[in-house]
Amino acid sequence: MDIIRIIFAILLPPVGVFMQVGFGGAFWLNILLTLLGYIPGIIHAVYIIASRK
């Protein structure tokens, strides 16, 4: 399941974070990072998915 989340994190970072944590603070932070720059959103999403198991 982590592979699917990482694929979503690369294509649409907020969706990958939402699949991992739901509508938490990390989701809203990821939306902000994605709006400010696509690459920071991807980095944050992959970090959230990799660190929370």
The answer to whether 11 and 39 are in contact (CB under 8 A) is: no
Please tell me the total count of domains within the chain. Answer: 1
The amino acid sitting at 33 is L
Q: Are 8 and 15 in contact (CB under 8 A)?
A: yes
pTM, full prediction: 0.89
Query: What's the pLDDT band for 53 if we cut at 50, 70, 90?
Result: low
Has residue 50 got a pLDDT over 70? yes
pLDDT band of 2, cuts 50, 70, 90? confident
State which residues form the domain around 13: 1-52
SS (H, E, C) the chain: CHHHHHHHHHHCHHHHHHHHHCCCHHHHHHHHHHHHCHHHHHHHHHHHHHHCC
Whole-number percent of the chain with pLDDT over 90: 81
Unique residue bearing structure tokens 């990958």: 16
